[in-house]
Structure 1
Amino acid sequence: MDEMPGGPSSGALRGIVVLDITRVVAGPFCSMLLADLGATVIKIENPHEPDYARAFPPTLKASSGEEFSAFFAQYNRNKFGLTLDLASHDGKQLLKDLVRRADVLVENFRPGTMDKLGVGYDVLRAENPRLVYTAISGYGQTGPYRRRPAYDNSAQATGGLWSMNGFPDRPPARVGTIIGDLSATLYAVIGVLAALRHAEQSGEGQLVDVSQQDSVLSLTENAVVSYTVDGKVPGPLGNEHPFVKPYELYPCKDGFVFFGGYTDKFWRLSCHLFGQPELADDPEIDTMAKRFEPEVYERRVRPVLHRWFQDRTKIELEEIVGDAVPLSAIKDIGEVVEDPQIAARDMVVDVEYPDFGELRMFGSPIKLGGTPTQPRGLAPKVGEHSATILRALAGLDDEQIAQLRTKGVI
């Protein structure tokens, strides 16, 4: 198992074997990050009902008419593909065999599902006491909501974030990405790495329990303490910060920019850069505390920013401030993909898929100096490496593997 799909296995997690029994994003993204870091990740899918993200757009198209989901490819790169019917006796036994050779298992079923299948945490821990069993779910493994079905929107709704997003004169708006799935994934990776270290030191694995609702709640900044200390329930603020000003979106000639020159240092620099140095000493707006006052901000500061920005393009404004003041063009994803900083950071990577052509997808934000990540691997076809995995980790021969295929176990 030294060779991962798409390239040689190296990196900080080389030698760590991860069993990935997840689908869609909350789970696959977790194991993808581990794979990028060098772990050997085995994606286990039901042979009769594989990950339905395989049908998500957009798709790569081969000349034969075959299609492959780019969405699926991005979140399942660098993984081996194995099919296993966990409802069958043989499938359960094979999973137990694999667990004995594994370090980590990741699943994102509703709590209790793996127990019903007969391969829950307690059963698998008996097979391998060092196993780090990571469960990502909507509401966690405990509590009154634990069995409720959940999607990303469920977490945004029940974690408080949805109620805070949008504009004050309109209904709340969901965050424009699957932040519940993504945040739970990131916390799961942190939990896996912490539990792995403990297992290496003590020989004991453990359950890593990550909830999407919990994860979203932790992203609400000062909302919890605003309520518990002052009794305030934060609502939608649009593009404004609860108290920091100026610190929001402002229109310019060809779009919008973010300007965050709110400190006295940045405000003084901005006044000089935009040709109005006298404003830095204006007694009504010469301190941060004065500029934070909503009435002063609306009457005195916002009109100044409007004059500075309205007749200049995003590029012109970025050139004026240079490295001196936090001002950033608000870019659409096309502009981001072509951004020179993104290119310099290797954050859009090109991967060649045989028969399908090139796929450009996001790279890895984790930059390690000694053991760099490997974001350019391929995602597996359904069960693509089943025989390889079962020979290497379960000790099966070709005849046994053929029998399992005939029975529909793999």
Structure 2
Amino acid sequence: MTAVMKGVRILEVAEHTFVPAASALLADWGAEVIKIEHVERGDAMRGLASTGTSPVSGSVHVLLEHSNRHKKSLALDLTTDEGLDIVYQLAATSDVFLTNKLPRVRSKLKIDVADIRAHNPNIIYARGTGQGERGPDADSGSYDFLAFWARAGIAAALMDADDDRIRFPPAPGFGDSIGAMTIAGGLMGALYHRERTGEGTIVDVSLMGVGLWAMGQGIALSLQLDTPWGQPPNGRTGNPLVGTYRTADGRILAFSCLQVTRYWPEICRILGRPELIDDPRFVDHAAISANTGAASDILAAVFAQGTLAQWRERLSGFSGQWAVSQTTLEAAADPQSAGNGFLQDVQTADGTSFQLVAAPVQYNERPAAAGRSPELNEHGDEILQSLGLDWDAILNLKIKGIVA
């Protein structure tokens, strides 16, 4: 894999998933990431015992690993002058300063834009926030379940009419991981801009903004129609080949054949119902649209007569677009996942093996290897020595509790 970020140094003062996962992607692509952690507990993610819906257990903290692979860890007390001075020294040699601290916390810790740029005027300063850097809620904390999922309209758009509560996101860190890709892309753009102009920019990405972007087409249509975006009535889309059907063994087949008249004759033959091709209810686009309910009912009845294995075989030559709705375990074992390196084998420091999803961008046809996350303060001595501190000075900092 081509390490496109090799030579870039990122200084991170952040925890949880949203912002750390961004630098994890850049680390996968070759960047050096120095992660500043709380001097005693480290990143709060290290102590997370539950996602809210599932316990975090086992010998490997895979949530921590997802967001911190390939990084170097320095556990440091930022509330002390000596600790802050170390951050400033590291910032002076870094290309990017990355944080998810709230405005009031950045100001209190003296790591805001002006503080960091006093030691490196051209550094790229990146902030990941819940609701954005401005506005009445700029200084309010948030999580992806709130700012990305609930506030940006995603949860409401997934509700059925008879639901009495919103659904949870499909996975922990769902909006965080999408937002992390956005931060990573923004930083790469900022680095390119500085390379061309010499100007270091401020990069802002919020969970709410990412959620709104993900809902962008639905929001644009909502504004145009003055109607909130929601699920199609009764799950019907107006096109019988855009939707889902259940098999005899309870599995779900998903179809997204937008050109219904192109694929209708072919699917009718595959389903053993060629008479439907010339049925007056389905002879053209207008007729199919007017009789979508009838067409969907016919397809549902036919699909319910065969198992998933049978339909995989029968649909193997279908030229339209379809997929099986898979569980996370099935997605991980999908031949496409293996063939493209979408999952990577990793080992912890003690040799325990596990797997992580690879960075979603590949260079020169090779996936980036997903390395392990650091132990708390694993690289502390190395980083401090790189700043010119001798062992006596480092030991003194340890004794004073400034570094772990």
TM-score scaled to structure 1, two decimals? Answer: 0.89
1:16-72, CA deviations, whole angstroms, 9 ceiling, x for partnerless residues? 0011211111011101110111101111101123112113354443xxxxxx41221
SS at 2:244 equivalent: strand
Asked if the contact 2:280–2:287 (Cα under 8 Å) also holds between the matched residues in 1, the reply is no
What displacement does 1:354 show? Answer: 3.9
The answer on 1:151 being equivalent to 2:147 is no
Deviations 1:251-291 (A, max 9, x none): 10221111223422222221222222332332322333443
Find the aligned partners of 1:389 and 1:290 in 2 and give their Cα distance: 70
What residue is the counterpart of 1:211 in the other structure? 206
Contact kept, 8 Å, 1:25 with 1:181, in 2: the verdict is yes
- Kindly report which structure 2 residues correspond to 1:195-210, keeping only aligned pairs within 5 A, or say none: 195-210=190-205
Determine which of 30, 44, 47 is the counterpart of 2:22. 30
The SS at the match of 1:281 is: coil
What's the secondary structure of 2:382's corresponding residue?
helix
In the alignment, which residue of structure 1 is the partner of 2:356? 361
1:102 alignment partner, SS class = coil
Deviation at 1:123, TM superposition (A): 1.4
Is 198-207 or 275-284 further displaced after alignment?
275-284
Task: Check whether the contact 1:164–1:237 (CA below 8 A) recurs between aligned residues.
Answer: no
Look up the SS of the partner of 1:268 in the other structure: helix
Take 1:112 and 1:292, find their aligned partners in 2: how far apart are those partners?
55
Q: 2:7 is aligned with what amino acid? A: G
- 8 Å CA contact 1:165–1:174 kept in 2: the answer is no
- TM-aligned CA distance change 1:374 to 1:388, over 3 Å: farther
1:113-262 paired onto structure 2 within 5 Å: 113-155=105-147, 156-171=149-164, 172-177=166-171, 178-237=173-232, 240=235, 244-254=239-249, 255-262=251-258
Aligned-partner Cα distance in 2 for 1:331–1:313: 15
Q: Which residue of 2 is the match for residue 72 of structure 1?
A: 64
Whether the 8 Å contact between 2:38 and 2:76 is mirrored in structure 1 is: yes
Q: Which runs of 5+ in 2 are unaligned?
A: 49-54
| Residue of structure 1 equivalent to 2:273 | 276
Distance, in Å, in 1 between the alignment partners of 2:219 and 2:390 is 57
Alpha-carbon deviation of 1:243?
Answer: 5.2
Distance 2:180 2:359 in 1: 14
Q: What SS class does the counterpart of residue 222 from structure 1 fall into?
A: helix
Identity %: 27
| Shift, 1:174, TM fit | 3.5
Q: Secondary structure at the match of 2:118?
A: helix
Q: Is the 8 Å Cα contact of residues 342 and 367 (structure 2) preserved in structure 1? A: no
Partners of 1:204 and 1:360 in 2: how far apart?
A: 39
Following TM superposition, by how much is the alpha carbon of 1:248 offset from its aligned partner in structure 2, in angstroms? 2.0
In structure 2, the partner of 1:88 is 80
Deviation at residue 221 of structure 1 after TM alignment? 4.2
Partners of 2:109 and 2:258 lie apart in 1 by 56
| Amino acid of the structure 2 residue aligned with 1:165 | L
Distance 1:94-1:236 versus aligned 2 partners, 3 A rule: same
Q: Deviations over 1:284-316 (max 9, x none)?
A: 2233344334xx211x21122113311222232
How far apart are the structure 2 equivalents of 1:398 and 1:29? 32
Partner residue in 2 for 1:375:
369
CA distance in 2, matches of 1:175, 1:70: 18
Report the equivalent of 1:390: 384
Q: TM-score scaled by structure 2?
A: 0.90
Instruction: Mark the CA change 1:278 to 1:134 in structure 2 (over 3 Å): closer, same or farther.
Output: same
Secondary structure at 2:245's aligned position in 1? strand
Aligned residue for 1:65?
none
CA contact (8 A) 2:19 2:100 kept: yes
- Look up the SS of the partner of 1:42 in the other structure: strand
Label 1:213 to 1:245 Cα distance change in 2 as closer, same or farther (>3 A).
farther
CA–CA separation in structure 2 for the residues paired with 1:397 and 1:10: 36
Specify which of 392, 400, 404 is matched with residue 397 of structure 2: 404
What does the per-residue CA deviation read over 1:48-97, in whole Å, with 9 as the maximum and x for residues that have no partner? 23112113354443xxxxxx412212221111111121111011111110
Equivalent position amino acid for 1:285 in 2: F
In the alignment, residue 271 of structure 1 is paired with which amino acid?
Answer: C
Distance in 2 separating the partners of 1:289 and 1:111: 55
Aligned length: 391
Bigger shift: 201-210 or 394-403? 394-403
What is the alpha-carbon distance in structure 2 between the residues aligned to residue 287 and residue 397 of structure 1?
80
Task: Pick which of 359-368 and 230-239 moved more.
Answer: 230-239
SS at match of 1:18: strand
Whether 1:315 aligns to 2:312 is: no
* Code of the aligned partner of 1:382: L
Q: 1:290 and 1:221 mapped to 2: Cα distance?
A: 31
Q: Distance in 2 between matches of 1:81 and 1:373?
A: 25
Helix, strand or coil: the match of 1:250? strand
1:380, distance to aligned residue in structure 2 (A): 0.3
Q: Is the partner of 2:91 in helix, strand or coil?
A: helix
Farther-moved stretch of structure 1 (278-287 vs 180-189): 278-287
Q: Tell me the distance in 1 between the aligned counterparts of 2:227 and 2:216.
A: 14
RMSD: 2.1
Helix, strand or coil at the partner of 1:389: helix
Give distance in 2, aligned partners of 1:241 and 1:15.
52
Matched to 1:338, the amino acid is: A
Q: 1:237 to 1:111 in 2, by over 3 A?
A: farther
Following superposition, the deviation at residue 101 of structure 1 comes to: 0.7
Moved more, 232-241 or 33-42: 232-241
